[in-house]
Structure 1
Amino acid sequence: MLKFLVDHARCTQCGLCATDCPARIIELDDYPTIVNPDACIRCQHCLAICPTEAISILGNDPENELPINNAFPSPQQMATLIRGRRSTRQYLDESLPIDVIEDLLTTVHHAPTGVNAQQVLLTVVKNRQSVHTLREAVYTRLVQAIRDGENNDDMRMEVLGWAIKMWTKEGADVLFRGAPHVLIASAPQNCPTPLPDCFISLSYFELLAASAGLGSLWNGMLKWTLDELFPEFRDRLGIPRDHLVGYVMVFGKPAVKYMRTVSRTPGPIRIIDWKEGNGTGNS
């Protein structure tokens, strides 16, 4: 049920909701109506764009939503956040409160997804004790695999063998980095864009976490271990078998504080002027 409701006392019949509807299913018949409910992608643009708070949908009331006017960070603030975000490899041995994690992930679920599918599953290992238990299981499994010669022809095992040496000989945890939480983004294989959706969600999480003073790390070695090389960990973590795992991230309170942004060599950028008929773009 869409529960598309229009408050006639507030509606000015401006038509913004109809004009901005991606599915083009809102028409003005004096007041806005949805003519093809099955085509609605549940984006809620109609609720968001209405200047007089006249529209509610999916049981959501505009009066309960956050006003946007002048609330966004400035371009300079966003640039500082993006440039100042660092991959964090040192963490305090301290779990985050569950309500803080839930608030972060609730916001991250607003990240865009293909066809607004909203099917990304965010699986979190909730505290440092659970991560310690998972860590012991992972290192034990890796030692066994290396001893038994599993996946010997896979170059990733060479890297993970180095991780085992660091752990057993130096006590350095280069897999989990001492983080108190693990975050795994997955999505059903049959949704429109499962892997991009996961990457986008984790990117949103990373920036949101940084804005809250938290650290995070995109963890490719854990992705190999928990998903690709030893998929039994997927089952133990409760990742549905029909899901693709986009990536794995660790996060928590950082044990380091970075004081400034850094400069990088500008990446390749092309700004083109497409000329009709010539089949190429001219810079």
Structure 2
Amino acid sequence: MKEHRIQVDLAKCIGCGMCRRDCPADNISITDKKAVIKSQACIKCGHCVAVCPKGAVSMTGFKEPPVEIKKSVILDPQQLMDALRTRRSIRQFKKQSVTQEVTAQIIEAGRLTPSGENAQDVSYIVLKDNMERFEKMAVRLFKRLLPFARLVNPVAKNKEIDDHFFFHEAPIVIMVVAEDKINGALAASNMALMAEANGLGVLYSGFFSMAANMSLSLRRALGVKRKNKVVETLVLGYPAVTYHRTAQKEAAKISFL
């Protein structure tokens, strides 16, 4: 990772204090009506860059410049609620490929997801041409574990593990890998929404994530580093199934204090 340094253009700075008030690390002061960075040893979250009305604060070391926000983007609440209400885990996929452009957009949704302390510790493994190889490795592991699972898990009693147990013949799989599980889960959630916005169905394959974290040989084959965890495995493709009504849910458990 390149070194990032926060810089203040004193000619542009008007000393409004917006950057100081918005800094989560209290790393900015106002001296002689100008913003002063106390230390470069902060989390480099970019709030100071984003909030400055004059563009006086910048951060070095990035390939892309910040994008100017000309108008706030507000999602339609009812459309979002309808989309959330009708989401289903998809296990039947069309034999239709997912383009590189759509794949890149899904990963971009993960990349743009905020992470705790701006760790940016999330990475992605895309399985496409070699999916069958990795699925076979996971199937072998789970077939060994199934007899034990059937002793304690009622769902496992009726479960059969075939060659497509994990990926259901989907055209593409994106694994979300991170040091921090919460950061990975947040990224995966945004990625799933972006996938659905592109007309894709999504299955969270928790079983494959479990296999990848359990099996040293599978981790090595996938190139997962020792300090990282496979947080989510998103199985993606165009749905070959239509749902005609929503699934019922229990009422939310809420405490007002």
TM-score normalised by length of structure 1: 0.76
**What residue number does 2:94 align with?**
92
1:1-283 matched pairs, under 5 angstroms? 1-8=3-10, 10-29=12-31, 30-38=33-41, 40-59=42-61, 64-67=66-69, 69-125=71-127, 127=128, 129-139=129-139, 141-142=140-141, 145-146=143-144, 152-155=147-150, 159=156, 162-164=159-161, 167=162, 173-188=164-179, 194-228=180-214, 230-258=215-243, 264-272=249-257
Indicate the residue corresponding to 1:277 in structure 2.
Answer: none
User: Is the 8 Å Cα contact of residues 48 and 57 (structure 2) preserved in structure 1?
Assistant: yes
How many Å apart are 1:31 and its aligned residue?
Answer: 2.0
Instruction: Report SS of the residue matched to 1:210.
Output: helix
Matched residue of 2:234: which SS? strand
2-structure distance, mates of 1:200, 1:13: 35
CA displacement 1:141-170 (0-9 Å, x = unmatched): 258x54xxx674344898398332xx37xx
Structure 2 unmatched runs, 5+: none
How high is the sequence identity, in percent, across the aligned residues? 29
Q: What is the RMSD computed on CA atoms of the aligned residues?
A: 3.0
| CA deviation profile, 1:16-61 (whole Å, cap 9, x unmatched) | 11100000111122221211111x1111011211233332213569
Answer yes or no: is the 8 Å Cα contact 1:85–1:207 preserved in 2: no
Which amino acid is the alignment partner of residue 203 of structure 1? Answer: S
1: CA distance, partners of 2:159 / 2:120: 38
User: CA offsets, 1:188-242, max 9 Å, x none?
Assistant: 3xxxxx11122111111111211222221111222233332x3321111111122
Indicate conservation of the 8 Å contact 1:105/1:205, yes or no: yes
The 3 A distance-change label for structure 1 pair 153 and 88 is closer
Letter aligned with residue 81 of structure 1: A
Aligned residue for 1:153, secondary structure, equals helix
Contact preservation (8 Å) 2:149, 2:156: no
Q: Distance in 2 between matches of 1:76 and 1:159?
A: 38
Q: Distance in 1 between matches of 2:53 and 2:83?
A: 30
> Residue 239 of structure 1 aligns to a residue in which SS?
coil
Q: Is the CA contact 1:90–1:256 (under 8 Å) kept in the aligned structure 2?
A: yes
Query: Does the residue aligned with 1:216 lie in a helix, a strand or coil?
Result: strand
Alpha-carbon displacement from aligned partner over 1:82-121 (angstroms, at most 9, x marks no partner):
2232211121223322233223212312222222211122
TM-score (norm 2): 0.83
**Cα pair 1:41 1:115 within 8 Å, conserved:** yes
Question: Is the partner of 1:206 in helix, strand or coil?
Answer: helix
Q: Is the partner of 2:249 in helix, strand or coil?
A: coil
Shift of 1:264: 2.9
The answer on whether the counterparts of 1:25 and 1:35 sit within 8 Å (CA) in structure 2 is: yes
Q: Which runs of 5+ in 1 are unaligned?
A: 189-193, 273-283
Provide closer, same or farther for how the CA distance between residues 27 and 195 of structure 1 changes in structure 2, counting only shifts above 3 A. same
Q: Secondary structure at the match of 2:177?
A: strand
Paired positions, count:
252
Could you say what secondary structure the match of 1:82 adopts?
A: helix
In 1, Cα distance between equivalents of 2:148 and 2:246: 40
